[in-house]
Amino acid sequence: MSLSATVIHTNSLETRLRGFHKKGEKYITKGIQYDPHDLSKNSLLGFSIFTRFRFPTIMGHAHCILYDFPIPEECVRLVLLPNLLEMSMTQIPDPVIFIVTVLTGKQSLHANLVVVNKPKKRVDVFDPIGKSADSEFGEERQLQEHILRAFCCNAHFQFYGETMDAGIQCGDVNNSKKREGGGFCRIWVWLAAQLCAEFPTKSLRTIIDEMTEYAVEAGSINICRGFLKETREGAFKMMQKRNARFSKLYLELREAPMQSGKTKSAYQLSEKLAMEYLWGLSSRSCATA
């Protein structure tokens, strides 16, 4: 995903984080419902974030990359990363490129954020778990770093890899609730990307350092919960303008866990509606391309 226009936030980063934390505190007891594997809902959330901030969307599909495509896949696989980095320099005019990569472990997937800043000639990496992810994703991290270092060498960029042993998400492990699933890494990555857009004078590394310092005192998981809540509110407002009927049918279930009976049927219907709506946007986009 690339940055073509920013919505610069007028408050300080600390004030912004405090706002997320305040929203997230409401979910201390029961947690905020989130399924990291619910592709339709997560695609809609990602679509709303990058559309509201006017980010063109990059989708990794099979062995190719589609640019300015309105359905964001969960992440870009590392096999596609070299091609995407080349595209960022030759075909994508935006000065800052956000790439959400996926590290594949033995039993799970893990989202990372790569920020290519062309004016500042630097590449930054954010891993929500930090280097402690190496026990599960060590080989994938080495591959990602090898690809990024080779790109930086050829483009004469500086490389800033992940420096923290225990990343900001590590504090979530003992404080999350059962209904929250186990995949907040994507939410942390989206938050980091949004903060980069809101505070463009700060590097990704600076934002993560400040966010981590604040989270040590405030509790990181409540920041993540608050951001997820704000993202859902933003998606609802955006979808009301685009398709009021769809937004009501789909987003009224955005915090309802899938259970059984009518609740399960309604939840599955919302997933179906979401994918049909997003693919409809894709069809219209391809038709007018």
Domain boundaries, the chain: 2-288
Question: Is 0.75 surpassed by the pTM of this model?
Answer: yes
Average pLDDT of 170-196?
Answer: 82
79-83, 142-146, 229-233, 278-282: the lowest-pLDDT one: 278-282
**In this predicted model, which residue has the larger pLDDT, 249 or 126?**
126
Average pLDDT of 217-235?
Answer: 85
49 burial via Cβ count (<10 Å: 0-12, 13-18, 19+): buried
Residue 184 in this model has a pLDDT that exceeds 60: yes
Q: What is the pLDDT of residue 266?
A: 63
How far, in Å, CA of 209 to CA of 215, rounded?
10
| C-alpha 7: how far from chain center | 17
**By the 8 A CB rule, do 22 and 226 touch?**
yes
63-72, 141-150, 261-270: the lowest-pLDDT one: 63-72
Average pLDDT of 202-228?
Answer: 87
Q: What is the pLDDT of residue 260?
A: 57
CA torsion angle for 193, 196, 198, 199 (degrees, to 10)? Answer: 160
Which contacts of 75-78 are long-range, i.e. CB under 8 A and separated by 24 or more positions? Answer: 75/100, 75/101, 75/102, 75/109, 75/111, 75/186, 76/100, 76/101, 76/102, 77/101, 77/102, 77/104, 78/102, 78/103, 78/104, 78/140, 78/143, 78/144, 78/147
How far, in Å, CA of 30 to CA of 180, rounded?
9
Q: What is the pLDDT of residue 169?
A: 85
The confidence band for 251, taking pLDDT boundaries of 50, 70 and 90, is low
**In this predicted model, which residue has the larger pLDDT, 7 or 15?**
15
Average pLDDT of 149-176?
Answer: 88
Residue 190 in this model has a pLDDT that exceeds 80: yes
